[in-house]
A and B are shown apart, each in its own frame.
Chain A
């Protein structure tokens, strides 16, 4: 700690860069967001409460929450598996597979939306097989989940991958020499080590899914009470020039995201500290 303090004093430009950072952050992010709260506060409490507990809004909150949760859960399982395969095994095309994991970060969400809708529509590449079985994917919550799975895919993989990479094979070897079998090694050594990263990835994917708009709006069908997500509802309120209502719904959603973000950060500081102690 002391060493660190010493090292970081001599360089120039701290005041200038810090000042610029804080001013710019305030202008672009903090003040605009504060206005959101300001606008929501122009509503009386009963108005606010009525807006955010309206039947249609509540249905939308529920839909957004559970589709986001399940999409994040799918990513938790398959993301961990993909990270595992990418770190531990060698196979042809591994580098390519590793590279395309990030596509959802780079591909515009609207494009993901129309592509997924085309594939999962009743006459689409995949949708038609399900349609034959009587299962509709596009324009149902199932479709929303698929879109949210797509956009959240990189989070778990990229959280777990570095941890697995750092996990010293010596631990595993030591455990093996102590007579542990591969199941025991996985559950006693590897799983506890990657669990925090899995949860971080899950929470990030969850948070991202809650606010997602572009990829969902095409595939969801946007039917009130059934397939209408929160961001869409905000846009609907805006188009009706109901700014206060839009702000109220947005505030509730924002608070939820912030709590999630805060929990992720606290969790990360804590695990970082724990690992430092070891």
Chain B
């Protein structure tokens, strides 16, 4: 149920935008399609809406085959990145559009349309804008109207393309909460595209991480973040230090290095001390930044010379005592996760949580 994609492929010329994707999104789920630009996430969304034709595979919506249906038969609610509100219509007519273009037999009466539009305007808390034109609204308000317009046709799925891409940080934050609330109220299967991992982690029930037209990992935010399936997911979600070659020496345990290994460690997983403890390595502080409740410290490893970043809460930082440029600290890098770089999709070769102190 919900949306299921089976071996869906889409090519533009020789470029494979969506590559053999199989995916199930349960009814009522709030799903994020997350990936860098060019990863095929928007194309996938447009394939579901019918705005693009699929080259191969099938799309099922609540069990019925959608692949051959036209855009208008699919009845999906689609919210465009730049809203695509009708400039020459006022807000009321924008929202009423989907009801007014129905075939005469299915078209609600004028009174019903008015009621429905006002109800939606109330839902998005913009009742007072009914007679205004899109150009008279702010970006955030336009986004809410675009959603109301998409909901007017009572869609079975709601698709949003980079819904907050064009908004400033504060409005974006507000709208994220608001969109979650709306979803909880209506419980429509919702799929949104974003390249912002924070947005995906914060809002979605399920995250689909995409890269090069393929799905890299599917799962709830915590799982995707805590247990990334491969190096791409690890490096794409959250801040990360990437280590290669000599920097990995000592963390590889019993495996024989072949030069392709790549290690990742998140800045907040690096422990810093004033004194040498166990397997920590000495590093020189090159910069200290305070961002809200966290402190970021740039360090240069004394023995190998490469630069990495550590992050901690202000309390931890206070425990450590004021750090200045030039100070020598000892960094605990044992949380490093190592992948075999030749094949990014493999499971981690080693998780060094179990390997601490197995070196030097």
> Real complex partners, A and B?
yes
Residue of A nearest to B51 (CB): A10
**In the assembled complex, which residues on chain B have CB atoms less than 8 Å from the CB atom of A9?**
51-53
Determine whether B359 belongs to the interface, using a CB cutoff of 8 Å to chain A: no
B173-189 interface mask toward A, CB cutoff 8 Å, 1 = contact, 0 = none?
00000000000000000
Cβ–Cβ < 8 Å partners of B42 in chain A: 6
- State whether A2 touches B52 (Cβ < 8 A): no
Contact A10 B15 (CB under 8 A): no
| CA distance in complex: A9, B13 (Å) | 13
Whole-angstrom CA separation of A46 from B330 in the bound complex: 97
Number of interface residues of B (CB under 8 A): 12
Does B43 touch A at the CB level, under 8 Å?
yes
Residue interface bits A4-38, CB-to-B below 8 A is 1, else 0: 01100110000000000000000000000000000
Most chain A C-beta atoms within 10 Å of own C-beta, residue among B17, B50, B51: B51
Would B46 and A6 count as touching, CB distance under 8 A? yes
Interface hub of A5, A6, A9 (most chain B Cβ within 10 A): A6
| Contact assessment for A6 and B71 in the assembled complex, using a CB-CB cutoff below 8 Å | no
The smallest C-beta distance from B48 to any residue of chain A, in angstroms, reads 13
Contact A2 B12 (CB under 8 A): yes
Which secondary structure dominates where chain A touches chain B? helix
B45-87 toward A: CB 8 Å interface, digit per residue (1/0)?
A: 0100011110000000000000000010000000000000000
Are B71's CB and A10's CB within 8 A?
A: yes
Chain B residue numbers with a CB within 8 Å of A2 are 12, 15
For the complex formed, measure the closest distance between the CB of A131 and the CB atoms of chain B, giving whole angstroms: 57
B107: min CB distance to chain A, Å: 21
Complexed CA–CA distance, A9 and B53 (Å):
9
Chain A residues closer than 8 Å to B43, beta-carbon distance: 6
Contact B52 A6 (CB under 8 A): yes
Q: Which residues of A contact B12 (CB under 8 A)?
A: 2, 5-6
Q: Which residues of B contact A6 (CB under 8 A)?
A: 12, 17, 42-43, 46, 52
* B50 partner residues in chain A, CB cutoff 8 A: 10
Bound-state CA distance A5–B17 (Å) is 12
> Which residue of chain A has the shortest Cβ distance to B42 in the bound complex?
A6
B11 CB, nearest partner CB in chain A, Å: 11
Residue in B closest to A3 when the chains form the complex, CB atoms: B42
The distance in angstroms between the C-alpha atoms of A2 and B38, with both chains bound, is 10
Give the residues from 150 to 183 in chain B that come closer than 8 angstroms, CB to CB, to chain A: none
Q: What is the distance, in angstroms, from B36's C-beta to the closest C-beta of chain A?
A: 14
Q: What separation, in Å, do the CA atoms of A5 and B10 have in the docked complex?
A: 13
User: 8 Å CB contacts to A: which residues of B13-60?
Assistant: 13, 15, 17, 42-43, 46, 50-53
A107 CB to closest chain B CB (Å) equals 33
Which residues on A sit within 8 Å (CB–CB) of B17? 6
Query: From residue A8, how far is it (CB to closest CB) to chain B in Å?
Result: 11
CA gap between A6 and B18 in the complex, in Å: 13
CA distance A5 to B50 in the complex (A): 16
Contacts of B15 in A (CB 8 A): 2
**Minimum Cβ distance to chain B for residue A116 (Å):** 43
CA distance in complex: A2, B52 (Å): 13
Q: Quote the shortest CB–CB distance from A209 to chain B (angstroms).
A: 40
Shortest A145–chain B CB gap in Å is 47
Q: In the complex, A10 Cα to B46 Cα: how many Å?
A: 9
| Cα distance A241–B71 in the bound complex, in angstroms | 60
Distance between Cα atoms of A10 and B17 in the complex (Å): 16
Shortest CB-to-CB span from A274 to chain B, Å, is 26
Q: Enumerate chain B residues within 8 angstroms of A10, measured Cβ to Cβ.
A: 46, 50-52, 71
Known contacts A5-B12, A6-B17; can you find 8 more A-B pairs with CB under 8 A? A2-B12, A6-B43, A6-B46, A9-B51, A9-B52, A10-B46, A10-B50, A10-B71
Could you list 18 examples of A-B contacts with CB < 8 Å? A2-B12, A2-B15, A5-B12, A5-B13, A6-B12, A6-B17, A6-B42, A6-B43, A6-B46, A6-B52, A9-B51, A9-B52, A9-B53, A10-B46, A10-B50, A10-B51, A10-B52, A10-B71
Binding site for B on A (CB under 8 A): 2, 5-6, 9-10
